[in-house]
Amino acid sequence: MTSDFLQRFELRFILKTAGFPKTKLDDAERVIIRAVRIARRHRKKRPDHYFCPILKQWMPYRVVKKARGRPSEKPLRYLIICALFRAWRIGFSDFPVINNRGFNPTPFVIMVQAIFTAEGYANVEDNLDFYRSYCKRMLRIYERRGSIFRVLI
């Protein structure tokens, strides 16, 4: 795939402009590329039929009618955002700072904006706020249960 090299080159440029140290650049790039590939694979439309080797015929995936409209891409956005948060933690060993709406964007928000634009997503600040509030809500739930599991916020 020839476009993959260009995407890696563009991603490396985005990470360098965000200020990632050279020693951590490869690890952060690897985390983000994995998440983007998974999201792209799951964005593709699933085929309607599959071949059943036992019955030796094509079978439909679903018997129920499909819902109208586009499928929700919220889990895919959250997957990419989680990878971006993790890459920032790898690069800087600190949690990223998200700016308030209407203020000057932080380097993290600029990096996310560039990657989201390349992937075709919009409303970066809204998605980051929703993801951060989701993580905080999950952390509260797990703390109430007394679980050792910690959600990364």
Does some domain include residue 9? yes
Please name the amino acid found at residue 110: I
Cβ contacts of 111 within 8 Å, gap of 6 or more:
14, 15, 17, 18, 84, 88
What are the Cα distances from residue 91, in Å, to 5, 11, 79? 22, 14, 18
Q: How many domains does the chain have?
A: 1
Average pLDDT of the chain, as a whole number: 81
pLDDT tens readout for residues 41-80: 887 766 666 677 777 777 666 655 566 667 778 888 999 9
Please name the amino acid found at residue 27: D
What are the Cα distances from residue 83, in Å, to 30, 35, 63? 10, 6, 35
Does some domain include residue 151? no
pTM for this predicted structure? 0.76
Domain membership of residue 91 as a residue range: 2-145
Low-confidence residues in the chain, pLDDT < 50: 1-2, 151, 153
Percent of the chain past pLDDT 70, that is, above it, reads: 79
For residue 134 the two structure tokens come to: 């989701």
